[in-house]
């Protein structure tokens, strides 16, 4: 069998691949956990997974250097604290694999201004950081596409807010394949059935975001008494019924989604159990369930985050293995685009 044929067969045999990333900015929230992080662990046993801490994305907004460095290790520790196994999944920093930036640039040259102009995250972030609407913030979705396409990813576990970015990644893969022949796998999104969009506790029509005020979100590392307090002061409504109605009762619907995501109970079960008992009882039940879910993660986090040697070992191995995978795609891309091969 020719070498190429053998390599192709090997590709067919490999398990489906997963890629996802989280930005190391601020404190991760319950939204990040339910929307993404929890699925990372669920998918680990069946897929070939790469989970990155996407630090190059984080600098599209001005960051304090010392804080960013600390946050990178924090997100890595959280990956490990939710139970990801670095022997099974590649856990690494995006900036440690320069191919992300390289493919990001190449894909920039295949992305239209109009496509980037439509991105709602760009619009939101430009409004929030009006004094720093930089080119990186604008082209961020092409870099995200590069993250995904670099590894011939099949499935991308993300929250609903990233759907538009994933769509661009799919379009870029198809566009590139259309010009140069099959080069990239066209990835699919993997969204949680409940909780793909966890909302702010204070304004339940906006998504829960780590860049908003602390009383609007539950931090994965929030102390139990803080979690309880935040749920107690969550905005609801005045009709005192625990019924799932996102349009008319967004606050209660959000709390029901959280409870359902964490316990696996259906909306009907939740209504049967809590309707008519008062919002106080219901809010405390949500708090109890979230605290029970997060406490073991918090305990493991405390141990892992202080073990710098271990974290360094994980990130180094992860980066080396990821770089080797990325270089396969880059060889192909460089050749197809017409960049001269460098033979050392
Ligand atoms: P980010 O914090 O923007 O890097 O997001 C990391 C991951 O968490 C992405 O997959 C997001 O879609 C997901 N995510 C962020 N906020 C939420 C939310 N409020 N609800 C559900 N998923 C979310
Ligand atoms: N843009 C994503 C966010 O803000 C983070 C991210 C960057 C990502 N690259 C990715 C998510 C690749 C999935 C796959 O949430």
**Domain ranges within the chain, ordered by starting residue:** 2-195+308-337, 221-303
- pLDDT value, residue 29: 97
Domain 221-303 maps to which CATH number in 3.40.50.720, 1.10.240.10, 3.40.190.10, 3.40.50.300?
1.10.240.10
Question: How many Cβ atoms from other residues are within 10 Å of residue 35's Cβ?
Answer: 26
What 3-state DSSP class applies to 150? coil
From the list 10, 74, 210, 229, the catalytic residue is 210
Q: Which atom of ligand 2 is nearest to the CA of 121?
A: 4
Q: What is the pLDDT of residues 231-287, one digit of tens each?
A: 999 999 999 999 999 999 999 999 999 999 999 999 999 999 999 999 999 999 999
261 alpha carbon to ligand 1 midpoint, in Å? 15
- pLDDT value, residue 13: 64
Q: Is residue 219 a contact partner of residue 209, using CB atoms and an 8 Å limit?
A: no
More confident residue, 9 or 187: 187
How does 298-318 read in b/e, with b if 16+ C-beta sit within 10 Å? bebbeebbeeeeebeebbeeb
> What pTM does this model have?
0.93
From the list 125, 230, 249, 283, the catalytic residue is 125
State the fold for domain 2-195+308-337: Rossmann fold (3.40.50)
* Residue 50 host element (H or E): strand 48-53
- pLDDT value, residue 344: 74
Q: Is residue 72 a contact partner of residue 305, using CB atoms and an 8 Å limit?
A: no
Strand-strand pairing, 90-93 and 155-157 = unpaired
Cα separation, 61 vs 128, in Å, equals 10
Bridge partners, 91 (sequence order): 51
- pLDDT value, residue 9: 57
- DSSP H helical segments within 33-150, as ranges? 38-44, 55-58, 65-81, 99-108, 113-117, 120-128, 135-149
Q: What is the pLDDT of residues 22-39, one digit of tens each?
A: 999 988 999 999 999 999
Q: What mean pLDDT comes out for the span 122-141?
A: 95
């Amino acid at each position: 069998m020719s070498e190429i044929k053998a390599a192709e067969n090997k590709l067919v045999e490999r398990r489906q691949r997963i890629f996802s990333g989280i930005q190391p900015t601020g404190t991760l929230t319950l939204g990040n956990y339910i929307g993404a992080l929890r699925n990372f662990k669920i998918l680990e046993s069946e897929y070939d997974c790469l989970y990155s801490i996407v630090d190059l994305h984080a600098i599209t907004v001005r960051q304090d250097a010392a804080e960013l460095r600390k946050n990178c290790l924090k997100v890595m520790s959280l990956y490990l604290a939710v139970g990801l196994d670095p022997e099974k999944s590649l856990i690494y920093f995006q900036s440690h694999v320069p191919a992300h930036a390289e493919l990001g640039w190449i894909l920039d040259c295949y992305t239209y201004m109009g496509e980037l102009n439509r991105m709602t995250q760009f619009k939101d972030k430009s409004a929030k950081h009006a004094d720093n609407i930089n080119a990186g913030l604008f082209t961020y979705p092409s870099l995200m596409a590069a993250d995904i396409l670099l590894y011939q990813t099949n499935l991308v576990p993300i929250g609903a807010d990233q759907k538009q970015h994933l769509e661009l990644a799919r379009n870029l893969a198809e566009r590139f394949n259309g010009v140069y022949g099959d080069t990239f796998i066209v990835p699919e999104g993997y969204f949680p059935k409940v909780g793909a969009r966890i909302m702010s506790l204070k304004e339940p029509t906006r998504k829960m975001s780590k860049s908003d005020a602390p009383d609007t979100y539950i931090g994965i590392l929030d102390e139990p008494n803080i979690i309880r307090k935040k749920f107690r002061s969550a905005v609801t409504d005045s009709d005192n019924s625990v019924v799932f109605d996102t349009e008319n009762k967004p606050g209660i619907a959000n709390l029901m989604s959280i409870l359902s995501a964490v316990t696996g109970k259906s909306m009907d079960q939740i209504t049967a159990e809590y309707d008519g008992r008062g919002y106080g009882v219901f809010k405390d039940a949500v708090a109890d369930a979230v605290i029970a879910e997060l406490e073991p993660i918090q305990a493991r986090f405390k141990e892992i985050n202080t073990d710098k040697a271990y974290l360094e070992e994980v990130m180094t191995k992860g980066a080396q293995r990821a770089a080797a995978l990325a270089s396969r795609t880059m060889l192909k891309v460089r050749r197809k685009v017409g960049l001269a091969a460098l033979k050392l």
